[in-house]
Amino acid sequence: MNFIEYPDREVMFLDLANKIAGQLRTALDTEGRASFCVPGGTTPGPVFDTLSAVSLDWERVDVLLNDERWVPESSERSNTALLKRRLLTGKATNAHLVPLYRDVPTPEEGLTDLMPAIEATLPLNVLLLGMGTDMHTASLFPGADQLELGLSDAAPTLLAMRAPGAPEPRITLSAKALKTAISTHILITGPEKREALERAQKLDEMQAPVSAFLSQATVHWAM
């Protein structure tokens, strides 16, 4: 694990956005297209703001979420709505959003339709992950109903997930799909998440799902 501590959040968000932009540019130059897999939640907004102001051939960038809460886009908990508001705007308006939600009652009913387009983005070029203080990442929550499958080598690309720590059903990329990424970044802030990261390093993946990604990740942290 590579760990970077920043003097403050603003510097971190800017620096990380610039790193990601550089990695996407390299992928576009070498492969012609790039895939960029991102978390929802409350932390990454400022990174998205900076990225949306970066000149890049965004039309050739496929943007997809790590996971989605199974709520319509009109909900304030919709990660898709967050992306549309903060990332797919400005210079990034024409980035290609690969959907992770369908207007059907359960994630199980949406999975099959969503799968082919998500699979077409693999291997991922750039993966940005968040982490909760319970050491979940994407919707790989400790205690989740399908966590064992979600972490296994036999996992499908997408799974429905229900967990005590998640207020609504989720859909998530499996660890196997997420781990295809060439570059992996984990973005965390504050003392509680730093302490959780330290704990995660001593626990197994079922207890601390984020630990599945630590060996390949750069963790970015600011108070």
Ligand X SMILES: O=C(O)[C@H](O)[C@@H](O)[C@H](O)[C@H](O)COP(=O)(O)O
Q: Report the DSSP pairing between strands 217-222 and 61-65.
A: unpaired
Phi, psi angles (nearest 5°) of residue 70: -80, 70
Q: Write each residue from 181 to 220 as x if it is in contact with ligand X (CB under 6 A), else as -, in one continuous string.
A: ----------------------------------------
Q: How far apart are the C-alpha atoms of 56 and 67, rounded to whole Å?
A: 25
Instruction: Name the 3-class secondary structure at 73.
Output: coil
**Do 37 and 121 form a contact (C-beta atoms < 8 A)?**
yes
Q: Which residue has the tokens 């966590």?
A: 147
Instruction: Name the 3-class secondary structure at 85.
Output: helix
69 binds ligand X (CB under 6 A): yes
- CA dihedral sign, ordered 41, 46, 47, 53: positive
Give the tokens for residue 32. Answer: 């012609």
**Do 166 and 220 form a contact (C-beta atoms < 8 A)?**
no
Nearer to ligand X, 28 or 81 (CB): 81
Query: In angstroms, what is the minimal distance from the CB of 92 to ligand X?
Result: 19
Query: In angstroms, what is the minimal distance from the CB of 39 to ligand X?
Result: 4
Residue range at the interface with ligand X (CB under 6 A); choices 4-12, 21-29, 130-138, 200-208: 130-138
Residue range at the interface with ligand X (CB under 6 A); choices 41-49, 84-92, 103-111, 199-207: 41-49
Instruction: Name the 3-class secondary structure at 13.
Output: helix
- Which one of 1, 15, 18, 41 is in contact with ligand X (CB under 6 A)? 41
Query: In angstroms, what is the minimal distance from the CB of 43 to ligand X?
Result: 3
Nearer to ligand X, 110 or 132 (CB): 132
125 binds ligand X (CB under 6 A): no
67 binds ligand X (CB under 6 A): yes
Instruction: Name the 3-class secondary structure at 35.
Output: strand
- Which one of 114, 126, 128, 130 is in contact with ligand X (CB under 6 A)? 130
- Which one of 52, 66, 183, 211 is in contact with ligand X (CB under 6 A)? 66
Nearer to ligand X, 69 or 220 (CB): 69
Phi, psi angles (nearest 5°) of residue 93: -55, -35
Enumerate binding residues for ligand X (CB under 6 A): 39-43, 66-67, 69, 79, 130-132, 137-138
